[in-house]
DNA sequence: CAGGCGTGGCG
DNA sequence: TCGCCAAGCCT
């Protein structure tokens, strides 16, 4: 695809100028070139909105002020701080990445995006963001904002549900970069792409009247911003029912619940969780002799990207001297220490609101 | 390469 | 309620 000369010449300067005047400047990961802080923010922001990340980011920085602190932590502590943020492989890769940076790079993040992209959890887009923000490297990010902004700007007809079209659009993004940018230019340009996508060139009802490049936009000229980005594939969401077995007992003043570790792959991989069964009979059989005391709590829906879960919590109170459940790899966790383990969001919320 | 992987917000 | 998706990566 060929880019009109006016677009390739005008886009980057207009975007840089606009970002400096009207873009976002107060986010906690802005105004620094510390690769650790930029990296942490970029990982958290993968598929996650700014408003969601804010609280997690500050807590992480408070606990792990630098890459050494993070590398020295246990994986469980990292997971507990990540709990609720989702896409938990990001947290494990974050931890692995910190250890790799310390053990193989002397505690310093590599500068070049191509080297950054070899680290766990850092793909091409995140590598570009880090290198552009920290060192002004002339590389383009390729996130959802860029795909939407550029597919409209160029009236790009490729189907972005296919990898090939995404690669093609990324090439176009590279060709739209400022020609001879200073480091500050690359920071403003990269941030500008994100700011434009997040606040102006939005999915629904884009605010073209506030857009600095509306005059260059092909979709706008055709009055067809809603046709882009082109995406055909739909997400098929499977419905499943899960029974959550909550085993609880009193130990002195406090109560404890039985948690096991989720398998290393799949949903909530590696997190702590109450035992999960595929149907009611299995759940009650896991409760063993105590199944008679089972209380069925209200079912709740929980949507994941590819599945729609219907969660059926079953609460069983055991006597204080009851034997441990015949479930491997589990342990009793005091309810007032649930904040210290990585739990899936619905499980955390469930355990925090148990009836007496 | 297509599919798997969380959660919350929005219209 | 439902579908879509948000600063994507890994296998």
- Residue A286 has φ and ψ, to the nearest 5°, of -70, -25
**pLDDT tens digit sequence for A243-261:** 999 999 988 889 999 999 9
Nearest nucleotide, CA A86 to C1': B6
Which residues are within 7 Å of strand C by their Cβ atom?
A 24, 27, 29-30, 41-42, 45-50, 87, 89, 93, 120-127, 129, 141-145, 148, 191, 194, 197-198, 203, 231, 234-235, 237, 301, 303, 305
Confidence at residue A110, expressed as pLDDT on a 0 to 100 scale = 98
Q: How far is the CA of A161 from the C1' of B3 (A)?
A: 12
- Identify the band that residue A328 occupies on the pLDDT scale cut at 50, 70 and 90: low
Is A145 in contact with A198 (CB distance < 8 Å)? yes
Instruction: Return d(Cα A186, Cα A354) in angstroms, integer.
Output: 51
Q: Is the pLDDT of residue A309 over 70?
A: yes
CA atoms within 13 A on the CB side of A324: 11
Q: How far is the CA of A102 from the C1' of B5 (A)?
A: 27
Is A102 in contact with A82 (CB distance < 8 Å)? no
Mean pLDDT of all residues belonging to chain A: 94
Burial of A234: CB neighbours in 10 Å, binned 0-12, 13-18, 19+: exposed
Q: Is the pLDDT of residue A234 over 80?
A: no
Q: Is the pLDDT of residue A242 over 80?
A: yes
Among A139-143, A164-168, A179-183, A321-325, the minimum mean pLDDT is found in A321-325
8-state DSSP, A85:
S
**pLDDT tens digit sequence for A273-290:** 999 999 999 988 887 777
Confidence at residue A116, expressed as pLDDT on a 0 to 100 scale = 98
Among A56-70, A161-175, A180-194, A227-241, the minimum mean pLDDT is found in A227-241
CB-to-strand B under 7 Å, chain A 20-79: 47-49, 51-52
Q: Is the pLDDT of residue A235 over 80?
A: no
Confidence at residue A29, expressed as pLDDT on a 0 to 100 scale = 97
Is A231 in contact with A161 (CB distance < 8 Å)? yes
Confidence at residue A269, expressed as pLDDT on a 0 to 100 scale = 95
User: Of A42, A209, A240, A280, which one is the catalytic site residue?
Assistant: A42
Among residues A50, A48, A73, the alpha carbon closest in space to that of A63 is found at A73
Instruction: Return d(Cα A340, Cα A271) in angstroms, integer.
Output: 12
Confidence at residue A329, expressed as pLDDT on a 0 to 100 scale = 75
Q: How far is the CA of A259 from the C1' of C9 (A)?
A: 29
A42 catalytic? Reply is: yes
Please state the rounded mean pLDDT for residues A77-105. Answer: 98
Confidence at residue A356, expressed as pLDDT on a 0 to 100 scale = 84
Q: How far is the CA of A205 from the C1' of B11 (A)?
A: 11
Q: Is the pLDDT of residue A11 over 70?
A: yes
Please state the rounded mean pLDDT for residues A230-237. Answer: 82
Query: Can you tell me which residue has its alpha carbon closest to the C1' of nucleotide B3?
Result: A306
Q: A247-260 burial, b for 16+ CB within 10 Å, e for fewer?
A: bbbeeeeebbbbbb
- Listed as ranges, the nucleotides of chain B within 7 A of a protein C-beta are 1-9, 11
**Number of other CB atoms surrounding residue A213 within 10 Å:** 23
**pLDDT tens digit sequence for A170-213:** 999 999 999 999 999 999 999 999 999 999 999 999 999 999 99
Among residues A210, A295, A307, A211, the alpha carbon closest in space to that of A266 is found at A307
Q: How far is the CA of A264 from the C1' of C1 (A)?
A: 33
Confidence at residue A33, expressed as pLDDT on a 0 to 100 scale = 97
**Where are any strands of DSSP class E within A223-329?**
238-251, 254-261, 272-273, 276-277, 295-296, 300-303, 307-318
Q: How far is the CA of A166 from the C1' of B2 (A)?
A: 14
Among A97-111, A121-135, A291-305, the minimum mean pLDDT is found in A291-305
CB-to-strand B under 7 Å, chain A 211-270: 233, 265-269
């Amino acid at each position: 695809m060929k880019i009109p000369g006016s677009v390739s010449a005008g886009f980057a300067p207009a975007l840089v100028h606009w970002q400096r005047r009207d873009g976002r400047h107060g986010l906690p990961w802005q105004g620094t070139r510390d690769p650790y802080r930029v990296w942490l923010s970029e990982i958290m922001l993968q598929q996650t909105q700014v408003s969601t990340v804010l609280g997690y980011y500050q807590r992480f920085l408070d606990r792990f002020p630098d890459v050494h602190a993070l590398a020295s932590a246990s994986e469980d502590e990292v997971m507990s701080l990540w709990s609720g943020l989702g896409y938990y492989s990001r947290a494990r890769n974050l931890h692995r990445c910190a250890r790799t940076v310390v053990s193989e790079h002397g505690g310093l993040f590599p500068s070049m995006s191509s080297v950054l992209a070899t680290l766990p959890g850092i793909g091409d887009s995140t590598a570009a963001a880090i290198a552009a923000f920290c060192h002004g490297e002339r590389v383009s990010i390729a996130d959802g904002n860029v795909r939407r902004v550029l597919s409209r700007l160029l009236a790009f007809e490729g189907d972005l549900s296919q990898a090939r079209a995404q690669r093609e659009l990324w090439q176009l993004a590279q060709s739209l970069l400022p020609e001879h940018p200073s480091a500050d230019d690359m920071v403003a340009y990269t941030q500008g792409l994100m700011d434009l996508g997040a606040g102006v060139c939005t999915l629904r009802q884009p605010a073209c009247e506030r857009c600095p490049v509306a005059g260059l936009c092909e979709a706008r000229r055709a009055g067809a911003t809603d046709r882009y980005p082109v995406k055909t594939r739909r997400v098929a969401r499977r419905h499943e029912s899960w029974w959550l077995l909550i085993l609880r007992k009193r130990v002195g003043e406090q109560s404890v619940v039985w948690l096991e570790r989720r398998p290393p792959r799949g949903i909530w991989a590696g997190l702590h969780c109450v035992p999960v069964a595929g149907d009611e009979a299995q759940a009650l059989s896991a409760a063993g002799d105590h199944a008679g005391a089972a209380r069925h709590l209200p079912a709740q829906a929980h949507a994941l990207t590819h599945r729609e879960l219907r969660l059926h919590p079953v609460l069983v109170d055991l006597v204080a001297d009851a034997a441990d459940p015949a479930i491997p790899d589990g342990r009793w966790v005091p309810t007032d220490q649930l904040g210290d383990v990585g739990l899936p969001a619905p499980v955390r919320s469930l355990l925090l609101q148990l009836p007496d």
